[in-house]
Amino acid sequence: MNFEVVVTCAVTGAGDTTGKSPHVPVTPRQIADAALEAAQAGAAIAHIHVRDPQTGAGSRDVALFEEAVALVRKSGTDVVINLTAGMGGDWAPSADDPALPGPGTDMIGPEARLAHVKACMPEICSLDCGTLNFSDTDTIYISTPPTLRRMAALVKEWGVKPELEVFDLGHIRFARAMIEEGLIAHPPMFQLCLGIPWGADQTVETMAAMKAQLPPGASWASFGIGRYQMPMAAAAVALGGNVRVGLEDNIWLERGVLATNGQLVTRVIEIIERMGGRALTPQEARNKLKLRGADG
**pLDDT, tens digit, 9 for 90 and up, residues 120-175:** 999 999 999 999 998 889 999 999 999 999 999 999 999 999 999 999 999 999 99
Q: Thinking of the domain 4-289, which architecture would CATH place it in?
A: Alpha-Beta Barrel (3.20)
Check if the beta carbon of residue 80 is closer than 8 Å to that of residue 36: no
Query: What is the pLDDT at residue 205?
Result: 98
From CA 4, how far away is CA 6, in angstroms rounded? 7
Question: Can you list the positions of beta strands (E) in the chain?
Answer: 4-5, 7-10, 45-48, 50-51, 58-59, 80-83, 89-91, 106-107, 124-128, 132-133, 140-141, 161-166, 189-193, 219-223, 242-245, 252-254, 257-258, 278-279
Tell me the CA distances in angstroms from 64 to 27, 69, 113, 120, 204, one per residue in order. Answer: 8, 9, 14, 11, 37
Query: What is the pLDDT at residue 259?
Result: 98
**pLDDT, tens digit, 9 for 90 and up, residues 227-270:** 999 999 999 999 999 999 999 999 999 999 999 999 999 999 99
Segment 96-101 mean pLDDT: 93
Check if the beta carbon of residue 76 is closer than 8 Å to that of residue 155: no
In 10 A of CB 43, how many CB atoms? 34
From CA 132, how far away is CA 139, in angstroms rounded? 9
From CA 210, how far away is CA 207, in angstroms rounded? 5
What's the residue count for the chain?
Answer: 296
Segment 184-207 mean pLDDT: 97
Check if the beta carbon of residue 164 is closer than 8 Å to that of residue 176: no
HSE (side-chain half, CA atoms, 13 Å) at 193: 24
Could you tell me the residue ranges of all domains in the chain?
4-289
From CA 12, how far away is CA 56, in angstroms rounded? 10
From CA 107, how far away is CA 105, in angstroms rounded? 6
From CA 213, how far away is CA 106, in angstroms rounded? 32
pTM: 0.96
**pLDDT, tens digit, 9 for 90 and up, residues 141-156:** 999 999 999 999 999 9
From CA 230, how far away is CA 226, in angstroms rounded? 9
In 10 A of CB 98, how many CB atoms? 11
Query: What is the pLDDT at residue 134?
Result: 86
**pLDDT, tens digit, 9 for 90 and up, residues 223-238:** 999 999 999 999 999 9
3-class SS of residue 234: helix
Query: What is the pLDDT at residue 294?
Result: 79
| Phi then psi dihedrals of residue 178, to 5 deg | -65, -35
From CA 107, how far away is CA 88, in angstroms rounded? 5
